[in-house]
Structure 1
Amino acid sequence: MSRQPRTQNVTTDAGEARITWVPATAATTAPGPRLVLAVSHGAGGGIDARDLKALAAALPAHGVTVALVEQPWRVAGKKVAPAPKTLDTGWRGLWPALAEPGLPVVAGGRSAGARVACRTAAELGAAAVLALSFPLHPPGKPEKSRAEELLGTGVPTLVVQGGNDPFGRPEEFPPGGYELAQVPYGDHGFAVPKKSGLTEAQAMEVLTGAVTGWLTSLG
């Protein structure tokens, strides 16, 4: 695989999706690629989200090829995400392309993308799940919990959550077979207020450090 980012269009039953591949780079910490981290966007944004960009910049030096996934609705230029079932269909259709390099694939995403990864991990044979800003519940409605999706991945799972995420603060998450890392003061998009004393760069270092350490622990 070329060391330069490249895009790949993939036809799925939900429409045409797109993968932007950011290949692992040779480094002293990792002589070659050892796994693929496939991450998709949320229902209101794209792969230019700060957390996805930070992971794509940091992880290749640690032997991780990052695959930034754009769901068909996003590629088609639509502004509103379809139903969860359709999102899952698009993700399933992408999976053979994500697995094509022959490396273990960690399924991931932010917000709605995290839910997709959780729901489909076991059936697709994902090595693990990375859930960024998992929307545990709609804002202000903790009774409408989506914890079952998170607890049912069946594979090693890491949640990275902002300390002030209205979709679920870290302390709201139930105990279970997953790890949880916190970005202090972060909102649902991991933005941090100036009064926190934490810069965006520092917040992203917390995030990428947690993910890098966890991916390394997977072996």
Structure 2
Amino acid sequence: MTDPETHPETGLGTGPETELVDTEAGRARITWRRAADARLVLAVSHGAGGGIEARDLRALAEVLPGHRVSVALVEQPWRVAGKKVAPAPRTLDTGWRGVWPALAREGLPVVSGGRSAGARVACRTAGELGAAAVLALSFPLHPPGRPERSRAEELAGVTVPLLVVQGGADPFGRPEEFPAALRPAAVVPHADHAFAVPKRAPLTQADALRLVTDAVTAWTATLP
């Protein structure tokens, strides 16, 4: 079941449409930024430590609709319920499966994506859900300081077009730590896991976000 709901505190400016979707993991929330004459839907979810207010997700929601890509920002049920700790990966996957019919109902190809834990969910479920492609933002290749606990197999299991966008100083996996075949195609120099760059960096925060949105815009333009 879906219910319309206004949700102005998302910080996405005017015009978002918001709906609630019941899933087996609880009630999720989708905030839509629709494109005129859309050709694709980019569905992205948040990580385990934050929500759709993440700077990269906000930037994509602002930019991509101008390129005929509707953006659906998905809040997992645990965030909608006000919980502070994310559940197990299996429960995150259940929540994502539950919102998929709402994402796909307009008959457009859906790019499955997310940041951090949301990227892992997108990778794990892309095949079964029929995603057109996968966008992985700040993929957590391993826990900080634990490179032996690699999650590269989740990326390797993706059989549709895949774009990984990674910060050059991400403690969850710097670009050079990825296996050669899975190396991020887009790198934001000096950026951490949240794509934040230090003040001493030779690029500004706006520059960093522009690298993210430019990379995703160019990539989605290549998708059929």
| TM-score where L is the length of structure 2 | 0.92
Report what 2:21 is aligned to. Answer: 10
Unaligned runs of 5+ in 1: 26-31
Separation in structure 2 between the aligned mates of residue 99 and residue 175 of structure 1, nearest angstrom = 33
> Aligned partner of 1:207: which letter?
V
Report what 1:147 is aligned to. Answer: 152
> Aligned partner of 1:121: which letter?
A
1:180 shift after superposition: 1.8
**Are the counterparts in 2 of residues 157 and 179 from structure 1 also a CA contact under 8 Å?**
no
| TM-score where L is the length of structure 1 | 0.94
**Are the counterparts in 1 of residues 175 and 183 from structure 2 also a CA contact under 8 Å?**
no
Deviates more, 1:69-78 or 1:3-12: 3-12
Which of the numbers 86, 96, 102 marks the counterpart of 2:101? 96
Matches within 5 A, 1:47-86: 47-86=52-91
Aligned residues: 211
Report what 2:6 is aligned to. Answer: none
Moved >3 Å (runs of 4+): none
Which of the numbers 11, 22, 32 marks the counterpart of 2:33? 22
> Aligned partner of 1:43: which letter?
A
Report what 1:201 is aligned to. Answer: 206
Task: Please say if 1:189 is aligned against 2:164.
Answer: no
**Are the counterparts in 1 of residues 21 and 99 from structure 2 also a CA contact under 8 Å?**
yes
CA deviation profile, 1:161-207 (whole Å, cap 9, x unmatched): 00000000011111226752101100000000011121111100000
Report what 2:222 is aligned to. Answer: 217
Separation in structure 2 between the aligned mates of residue 122 and residue 141 of structure 1, nearest angstrom = 28
Report what 2:126 is aligned to. Answer: 121
Unaligned runs of 5+ in 2: 1-13
SS at match of 2:181: coil
1:35 shift after superposition: 0.4
**Are the counterparts in 2 of residues 41 and 111 from structure 1 also a CA contact under 8 Å?**
yes
Separation in structure 2 between the aligned mates of residue 211 and residue 173 of structure 1, nearest angstrom = 20
> Aligned partner of 1:59: which letter?
L
Separation in structure 2 between the aligned mates of residue 88 and residue 209 of structure 1, nearest angstrom = 28
SS at match of 1:7: strand
Report what 2:9 is aligned to. Answer: none
Matched residues, percent identical?
A: 73
Separation in structure 1 between the aligned mates of residue 204 and residue 15 of structure 2, nearest angstrom = 29
Separation in structure 2 between the aligned mates of residue 91 and residue 176 of structure 1, nearest angstrom = 27
Separation in structure 1 between the aligned mates of residue 200 and residue 45 of structure 2, nearest angstrom = 30
Which of the numbers 45, 56, 77 marks the counterpart of 1:40? 45
Separation in structure 1 between the aligned mates of residue 96 and residue 30 of structure 2, nearest angstrom = 11
